[in-house]
């Protein structure tokens, strides 16, 4: 018994169920915020399948939450892109996401405004705030630099402020 | 943080859906029984845990010893739960289950592996006898420790082993649970 207790060193991978229990809500919220309610659920499910497949090969148990959210972001991007014609990223026009009436949601005004942001800004701002990632995490998830992430988030916040008529700088 | 930022932090939609998975490398469930809550786990069709240990400790040990892909999935354990319920109701005397002692040390395996053969339903034996059965007649105390660490309780009947004077000594699920199991078997 003592011998087995001694084997529980920090750094070993926790049981996958612990990740699900701790993070499934964040994964689901982020996927929906990025890709909309319908595609978002599909993206979240795919993200969990990818994470489950890759999990035993992970060499570190650090930053598992960022790891999961990065996979989620990639799946949300893929699922969402598959639905519209391909264009260079930064030229992409705003793509409103479809789904249930936004009035059913806790903050419908904000939900609508976020959905109407240009795609890249929406991804960055939702990763930053819904995903609660820092700019390094956002940048990793979007294959860009922290400086670009900062700019995207800042542009998104400016658009949201003007659209929502809030001035809280 | 500004008001807009905290609204963004809280941005959510109703009815979030939890993910679903195929059968896990290690599936486990918590099963309420008359002797307490047992954590039951199965891997590759073999029972790896039937334990009074707490969920976090047990799943962490399973993640380390078997696979980190440990999921709370009751369905793969349906047969194990059914057999346990039958046994605890007195209608089953032996288990038709394969066991994998992945959570045990080599010495614990030596002690636990043949326990169903070294004991029989409705009878008790002693730590000293089990020690002799595995050709380590002086290891009664070590046998007691190994039985106390049994990761597959009830299915591997460590409750049938008592002190030389007949005292129940100890049990992972508490002495009440051990008494319950021995009384149950005495009736059969």
> Is pLDDT above 70 for A67?
yes
ipTM rounded to 2 decimals: 0.93
SS3 B161: strand
Largest Cα–Cα distance of chain A, in whole Å? 63
Q: Which residue of A has its CA nearest to B72?
A: A17
In a domain, B18, yes or no: no
CB A75 within 8 A of CB A36: no
Number of domains chain B is built from: 1
In a domain, B15, yes or no: no
In a domain, B16, yes or no: no
Q: Which residue of B has its CA nearest to A25?
A: B16
What is the structure's pLDDT at B13? 86
In a domain, B139, yes or no: yes
Considering only CB atoms, A20 lies closest to which of B8, B14, B19, namely B19
CATH code, B161: 1.10.10.10
What is the structure's pLDDT at A99? 52
How many beta-carbon contacts under 8 Å exist across A and B?
Answer: 124
d(CA A120, CA B55) in angstroms, rounded, equals 41
Selection from A2-11, A102-111, B98-107 with the highest mean pLDDT: B98-107
Question: Is B16 in contact with A28 (Cβ distance < 8 A)?
Answer: yes
> Is pLDDT above 60 for A103?
no
A58's tokens: 């992970």
Domain that holds residue B86: 26-187
In a domain, B19, yes or no: no
CB A38 within 8 A of CB A99: yes
Domain A10-164 has CATH 1.20.140.160: yes
Instruction: Note the pLDDT tens digit of each residue in B1-26.
Output: 899 999 999 998 888 999 999 999 99
Instruction: Note the pLDDT tens digit of each residue in B37-59.
Output: 999 999 999 999 999 999 999 99
> Is pLDDT above 90 for B33?
yes
DSSP characters over B8-19:
HHH---SS----
Q: Is residue A70 less than 8 Å (CB to CB) from chain B? A: no
Let me know the angle formed at the C-alpha of B154 by B153 and B159, rounded to the nearest 5 degrees: 90
% of chain A with per-residue pLDDT over 90: 64
d(CA B136, CA B51) in angstroms, rounded, equals 26
Q: What is the DSSP letter of A67?
A: H
What is the structure's pLDDT at A5? 42
Within 10 Å of residue A5's Cβ, how many Cβ atoms?
Answer: 9
């Amino acid at each position: 018994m003592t011998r087995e207790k001694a084997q529980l060193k920090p750094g070993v991978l926790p049981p996958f169920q612990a990740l699900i229990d701790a993070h499934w809500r964040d994964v689901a919220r982020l996927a929906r915020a990025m890709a909309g309610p319908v595609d978002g659920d599909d993206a979240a499910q795919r993200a969990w399948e990818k994470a489950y497949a890759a999990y035993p090969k992970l060499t570190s148990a650090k930053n598992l939450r960022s790891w999961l959210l990065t996979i989620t972001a990639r799946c949300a991007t893929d699922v969402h892109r598959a639905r519209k014609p391909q264009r260079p990223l930064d030229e992409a026009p705003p793509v409103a996401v479809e789904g249930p009436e936004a009035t059913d949601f806790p903050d419908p005004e904000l939900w609508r405004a976020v959905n109407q942001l240009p795609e890249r800004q929406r991804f960055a701002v939702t990763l930053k705030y819904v995903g609660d990632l820092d700019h390094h995490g956002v940048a990793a998830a979007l294959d860009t630099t922290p400086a670009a992430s900062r700019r995207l988030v800042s542009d998104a916040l400016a658009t949201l402020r003007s659209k929502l008529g809030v001035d809280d700088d | 943080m500004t008001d807009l930022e905290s609204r963004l932090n809280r941005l959510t939609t109703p009815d979030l859906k939890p993910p679903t998975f195929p059968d896990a490398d290690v599936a486990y469930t918590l099963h309420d029984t008359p002797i307490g809550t047992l954590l039951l786990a199965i891997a590759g069709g073999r029972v790896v845990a039937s334990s009074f240990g707490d969920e976090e400790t047990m799943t962490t040990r399973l993640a380390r010893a078997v696979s980190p892909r440990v999921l709370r999935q009751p369905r793969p354990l349906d047969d194990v739960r059914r057999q346990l319920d039958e046994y605890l109701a007195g209608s089953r005397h032996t288990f038709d289950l394969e066991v994998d002692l992945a959570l045990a040390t080599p010495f614990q395996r030596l002690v636990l592996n043949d326990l169903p053969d070294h004991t029989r339903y409705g009878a008790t034996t002693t730590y000293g006898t089990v020690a002799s059965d595995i050709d380590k007649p002086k290891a009664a105390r070590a046998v007691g420790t190994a039985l106390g660490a049994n990761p597959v309780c009830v299915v591997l009947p460590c409750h049938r082993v008592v002190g030389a004077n007949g005292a129940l000594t100890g049990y992972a699920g508490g002495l009440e649970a051990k008494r319950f199991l021995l009384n149950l078997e005495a009736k059969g």
